Every structure is written in structure tokens, then in C-alpha cells.
Amino acid sequence: MHCDPRFSRVREVFERNFADGEELGAAFAVHLDGELVVDLWDGVADRNTGRPWESGTPAFAYSCTKAITAAVLLQLAERGLVEVNAPVADVWPEFAAGGKGAITVEQLLSHQAGLPVVEELVPVEEFEDHPAIAARLARQEPLWEPGAAHGYHALTYGFLVGEVVRRVTGKSVGELVAAEIAGPLGLELWVGAPDPVIARTARLKAGERSQPGATESAARPQKAAPSQDGAETAESPQEGAARPQDVLAEMAKAALDPHSLMNRALGNPGMHLLKGGANNPVILRAGWPAAGVVTTARGLSGFYRALVAGELLRPETLREALRPRVNGPDRVLYLNTSFGLGFMRPSMTFPLPSPSAFGHSGMGGAIGLGDPERGLAVGYVMNKMADAISGNLRGLRLVQAVYDSL
């Protein structure tokens, strides 16, 4: 392990998370101006066997994947292979069905397309067949007028953006990540992990839920199809300034309703249909472009280091991608969300210490972020999942300690 003395506060917070019983196994990494200044890990990777968390232990980081998928598409845009402002149907003609001919790639990346749900149940046999799932979405009609509102496309984001990528390259997001990002940069990061990586991946453990009536108890679905994704704190979809208790009441109501948009968006394809859920090799191998990354903290931080340094995208491309396209009540997550082109911006669901920071969270508390103004990149992964907002504070406390140390 390594921790620059300037960041001793980060080590203290990391160790306290374990001492307080908030972690089972976890890793945290920080790059500053291109240098790896924090590289911490501790705990148990598999509580069933006692396998320790080691330097190269990867973990499944759910929606942290979305930022990586966005970077893949933006690389293609830089090469002139896809136009962000053009209709999706230009490269995917079947997508025009159901009145979707005018939906743009930009609207897919910013959760404005009105397609947060796969309406047809996706069978387990299709979990690794991304084009088949995309074809189901192509047949659907939007749930709202595209561009008129936004709602977190928890799982559909990846199948939609991934199909655009496949149509213009003939390759999957995972293949391009390996060839264009992880491979050249030597990152421990896979969107679709090979069997040797799966064998050493940390095994996720469900977290403890809050007591009934606690603020955190409404933070994610707790019945029907289990929540699978992670920008998962949400605001009332109603316009106006609702009181926090009213928003939480709406969240709780939606969480308990198996037919709510929240549960429908988070539960199909259903990881819970497989033994072990996200621990199942089918999921780890599938490489869903919205929730499929297997990575070390060092690998996730390294991805953002390369973004901030201009190694993956031109600085002007990144600046334009970070410009918020939506900011306000989310039709799926209830709380305010803010998105650029696939990247989360600071908001109620991604509370960051700096307005120049960006990135993406993942279910259970995983965090990847970059900050161009400070030359900063951070990665945090763990295997004790948070079922409540309070559990996600582990990673946010670490991020705050980084900024306090600058």
C-alpha cells in the first residue's frame, strides 16, 4: 500500500471505515497531476472463503461503467464515426420505430430519450446478447417526449449507447475498452471480464438496511425486482420545490411498488434471476455497458487520470462532454440529477466538493471521478454493498478527505 504523507488524512478515514465495521473489503486510489499518490486496500475479498483483498483485487462497480462507455463513444465522435447531435436512426435505422426517429445520440447519453425501461422481460439467455436487448428497445415507444424531461436510464443506457457503438464499429464497448483504453494504458479494468479475472474478483455482499422510518430506508427499491444500479438516490419528478420529507415519501412509495418506473428501470434485465446475482460469472462476463465494469480502484482512478490528462479525449471534447445537458428532477430517481454526455455532474445524487468534478457512482457506493481544474482522479471500489444513503457516505468521506488534503 502507498499513501503520500500529504494525504495521511485519507488513510485515517479509510482505516476508520474498517474500524467502524462499514467495510468488508475495499480499495481507494488517487492520482494527482498524473502521479499515483494514494493506493490503499484492506479487508476480505470473499467472506465465504476468507480470501484477502490484495493489491490487484478487482470488484464489480456497477454504473461506474457509464462514464467509460461515454468515453468510448466520444472517441468515435472525435474520429468522425458518429455525430453526437445527429439522430440515432442515422446509424441504427430500426431505432426510428415507435416515433423515435428524431432522438439524438446526445439524448441517449444524457438520459433524455424516454427509454429507461425494457418493457419486455429479458430472459437469462439474452444477458450476454446485447444486440437482442437493443432490438427490444428499438421496438418501443418513449415514455415521455424525448428532450422534454430526463430520467436515469439505469440499464438501458448501456444497451442503447452500446448498439450505436456496435453499428459504427462492428465491435462491443467491452472490446473497444480493451483495445483503446485499458490495453494501451495498462489499466486493471474490464467491461466484460475474462475467466482468470472473474476468479479473483471480490465477491459482493448485501449491506444492512436502515431501520424503518430512517431517512435512508427509502434510498433504493427493497421489494419486487432488486435495484441493480447506482446513481441511486433520487428527487420528486414533480416540478417545484418539494419538502425533503415529501420527496422521501414519494421515493418510499415507488420503492415498494413493483410497477413503479424506478423498479422497472432498475430490475430488467434482472441480475437477481441468476444465482449470486452480480457475483454470477454470467454478469461479470457479460460486460453490460451501463453496469458491467470489473476494476480495481487503481484502474478506475487511472481511467480518470487519462481523461483529465487529455490522453483519451481532446481537452475540448471533454469540456463539451462535461457541459450539463440536464439538471433537475429525475423521473426515475426522484432527486435532482445532473448529466453531461454520459458523465454525472455534482448534484443531490452525486454530491462532490468541487463544481469542476465529474464522474459516475455505482450501486453500493463505488465512485470514479476526475477534476480537471485540480489534476485529480479518484477510484473507490468495495464489496460490502450499501442499501442506504448512509452507506454511500464511506466513499464520499474519502473523497472529502482528498480535497481537504490538497
Beta-strand ranges (E) seen in 144-291 are: 189-191
Distance between CA atoms of 337 and 151, rounded to whole angstroms? 8
**pLDDT, position 208:** 56
Q: Give the Å distances, CA to CA, from 105 to 116, 132, 149, 205, 224.
A: 15, 19, 15, 36, 31
Kindly list the structural domains of the chain, giving each domain's residue range(s) and its CATH number in brackets, ordered by start. Answer: 2-203+214-405 (3.40.710.10)
**pLDDT, position 259:** 87
Distance between CA atoms of 324 and 315, rounded to whole angstroms? 16
Distance between CA atoms of 286 and 266, rounded to whole angstroms? 17
**pLDDT, position 240:** 42
Cα Rg of the chain (Å, integer): 19
Query: Running along the chain, 406 residues long, what does each successive block of 10 average in pLDDT?
Result: 97 97 97 98 97 98 98 98 98 98 98 98 97 98 97 98 98 98 98 98 78 30 35 36 65 82 93 96 98 98 98 98 96 93 95 96 96 98 77 89 97
Distance between CA atoms of 9 and 132, rounded to whole angstroms? 48
Q: What is the pLDDT of residues 225-272, one digit of tens each?
A: 333 333 333 333 333 445 656 766 777 787 788 888 989 999 999 999
| 80 CB burial (10 A radius; 0-12, 13-18, 19+) | exposed
**pLDDT, position 386:** 85
Distance between CA atoms of 224 and 296, rounded to whole angstroms? 31
How far does the chain reach from its first CA to its final CA, in angstroms? 20
Q: What is the pTM of this model?
A: 0.91
Distance between CA atoms of 45 and 52, rounded to whole angstroms? 5
Q: What is the pLDDT of residues 312-361, one digit of tens each?
A: 999 999 999 999 999 999 999 988 999 999 999 999 889 999 999 999 99
Distance between CA atoms of 374 and 371, rounded to whole angstroms? 6
**pLDDT, position 244:** 57
**pLDDT, position 206:** 87
**pLDDT, position 243:** 61
Query: Locate cell 436510464: which residue?
Result: 153
**pLDDT, position 84:** 98
Query: Locate cell 464499429: which residue?
Result: 169
Distance between CA atoms of 23 and 141, rounded to whole angstroms? 42
Distance between CA atoms of 336 and 182, rounded to whole angstroms? 32
